[in-house]
Amino acid sequence: MTYEAVKIELTNGTGNPRRFTCADSALTKGVLLKLTDPRTCAAVAAEGDVIAGIASMDKVVDGSLAISLWTDGIFEMHASGAIAVGAPVKAAGADSHVKALLGTEASGAACIGYALETAADKETLAVRVRL
C-alpha cells in the first residue's frame, strides 16, 4: 500500500514544479518519484532512492511521457521508524514513507528535506521538502 504525501503548503504557492520525463504508466498524485538517468522519474522502489519530487497530479496511461513534480514545500508524510524534529529524511521504500537519515547520508539528493515535528513509527508528520 502506498501512502501519498499530502501538501500542506507550497513554496511561492506553486511548490516550484519541475517537469520530468516518465514512462506511460499510472502514477498517483502525492507519490514520491525517484530520479533516473537522463532526467527521468519513476516510482520509488527502494530505501534511499534519489528523489526527483512529489507527483503534483494523477497520471493515467494515455500516451503522455511527462509529469510535473513538486520540489519545494511542506507535506504531510508517513514515518518509517522514529523521526526527531529537525532530522533530515529520505525515502523509506516503495510505499512513499520517509525515514531519518543517519550521519553522512544527510547530504546529496537522497535527502528529501527535514522533519518539522517528531513522529513515531507509522505516524504522520510534516516534512519540509527541498529538492
Question: Binning pLDDT at 50, 70 and 90, where does residue 96 land?
Answer: confident
20 is a domain residue: yes
DSSP state of 47: T
80, 94 in Cβ contact below 8 A?
no
| Alpha helices per DSSP H over the chain | none
Domain finish residue from 52, 71, 90: 71
Alpha-carbon gap, residue 122 to 78, rounded angstroms: 6
User: What integer is the mean pLDDT of 9-32?
Assistant: 96
4 is a domain residue: no
Q: Are residues 51 and 93 in the same domain?
A: no
50 is a domain residue: yes
Q: Are residues 78 and 61 in the same domain?
A: no
Q: Are residues 48 and 81 in the same domain?
A: no
Mapped onto helix, strand or coil, the DSSP state of residue 77 is strand
Considering its fold, how many domains does the chain have in total? 2
Question: Binning pLDDT at 50, 70 and 90, where does residue 61 land?
Answer: very high
Alpha-carbon gap, residue 46 to 56, rounded angstroms: 21
- Residue 1 has a pLDDT of 58
- Residue 15 has a pLDDT of 97
Q: How many residues does the chain have?
A: 131
5 is a domain residue: no
Radius of gyration, alpha carbons of the chain: 14
- Residue 106 has a pLDDT of 61
Look at residue 4 and tell me whether its pLDDT is greater than 70. Answer: yes
Domain finish residue from 26, 46, 71: 71
Question: Binning pLDDT at 50, 70 and 90, where does residue 3 land?
Answer: confident
- Percent of the chain at pLDDT above 70? 95
Instruction: Find the domain containing 77 and state its range.
Output: 73-130
27 is a domain residue: yes
| Comparison of pLDDT for 123 and 102, the residue scoring more | 123
